[in-house]
Amino acid sequence: MAEIKKRGSKWQYRVFYTDPDTGKQKSKSKSGFLTKADAVAAANEIEVQKQHGASLGSANVLFSEYYDEWIKDTKLGRYSHQTEIWYKRTSKLIHEGFPGVMLKDVSRRKYTKFLNNYAADHSKESVAKTAMFIRSMVHDAMSERIIFTDFTSGVKNNGKPGKRESDKYLEESQLKKLTEVVKKHLSVSHITAYEILTAIYTGARYEEVTAITWDRIDWDNNRLTLDRAYDYITRTGFKEMKTPNSIRTLDVAPELIHALHQLHQAQAERYLKKGYRDEDKLAFRSAGMTIPSNVAVNRALKHYQDEADIPQTDWITFHGLRHSHASYLLSKGVDISYISKRLGHANIALTMAVYAHLLENRYQQEAAKSTSLLSLL
């Protein structure tokens, strides 16, 4: 039972509970109530929370403190460096948006205002990622009985529309022009051209292309194995792939194998002259024996797109080569289940979601073909 006392002219309650972590008895109190009835009502509310297994010791934790502890205990060290940057970025937003605010005092209205302020100058994708992290934290806090309502439920994403997926790839004619230009620049001194060509022919992510080593290439059967990534952000070497499904062996065009074979020979000759030995056997080291940054590769890609007379409004980033690869195959009638595996997607549903705009075009073509065939019956 709660202890109710009068202190001067005001009333106070004290609720006793057992700390589940230490097994020791502790108490939670609050004073300043004008009447005894007010203190009793507040104490009863705490008693109800205690009966439902609430973590009373954490009841007055700050929103920002709980989030920081949450990512420390459950997220940091378990995901990619880039993902961890997002978790920490969300922490900064919470510290700025809810200074000194207890987690239990965050209302749906306050959270909506916070998310809308962030959405005012950020894309829907950025808002969705931030909201996803906070929602996951809230669900864990509810599981721990620290809070009892989900203040993120039903809050709309009012972020600015991001670049449409259909704008992130090159049309077939543009992709062919770009490929022609890139092939003209292939040399040890233009190692980024080889990386771009590899992405065009494989649809691989930048960190996957950068991690390719010579022993992952099957010269006789025109195959390339992608089984690890390169941590190009911290530049500390190899890391695990994004997902287990990302590990794959691709059949690639002989043109790419031929280009890589030429690079291998030229690189070996250069290393011999320099007396350099690459223990990692990386395919794409620059003339200075370094790994080109994603900034450098994207800078080169802009130059090649300009040389290919592709309008700036249609320019893509290195990741756009992945979309261009998939879009080209889809436009040529390649089965989407094969494309999904080629891209290393977790499942075909993800591939269909990303390329829904292209699949709709295919659907309309197939619908027209089907009605024509059925009319012959």
Q: What is the mean pLDDT of each run of 10 residues along the chain (377 residues)?
A: 82 71 66 84 71 57 91 80 85 94 92 94 88 93 86 91 65 95 95 97 95 96 95 81 89 96 94 91 90 92 96 91 91 89 87 74 74 81
Pairing of strands 25-33, 248-251: unpaired
Distance separating alpha carbons of residues 209 and 226, to the nearest angstrom: 8
> Residue 113: what pLDDT?
95
| CB contact at 8 A, 215 and 197 | no
| CB contact at 8 A, 341 and 251 | no
Got the DSSP string for 250-294?
Answer: EE--HHHHHHHHHHHHHHHHHHHHHT---TT-BS---TTS-PPPH
> Residue 119: what pLDDT?
92
- Crossing angle of helices 318-331 and 172-184, in 10° steps, is 130
> Residue 166: what pLDDT?
44
| CB contact at 8 A, 354 and 165 | yes
Query: Global pTM?
Result: 0.61
Phi and psi for 18 in degrees, rounded to 5? -100, 125
Helix (H, G, I), strand (E, B) or coil at 230: strand
> Residue 193: what pLDDT?
97
> Residue 206: what pLDDT?
94
Helix (H, G, I), strand (E, B) or coil at 124: helix
| CB contact at 8 A, 13 and 42 | yes
Q: Does domain 166-367 have CATH number 1.10.443.10?
A: yes
CATH number for the domain formed by residue range(s) 63-143: 1.10.150.130
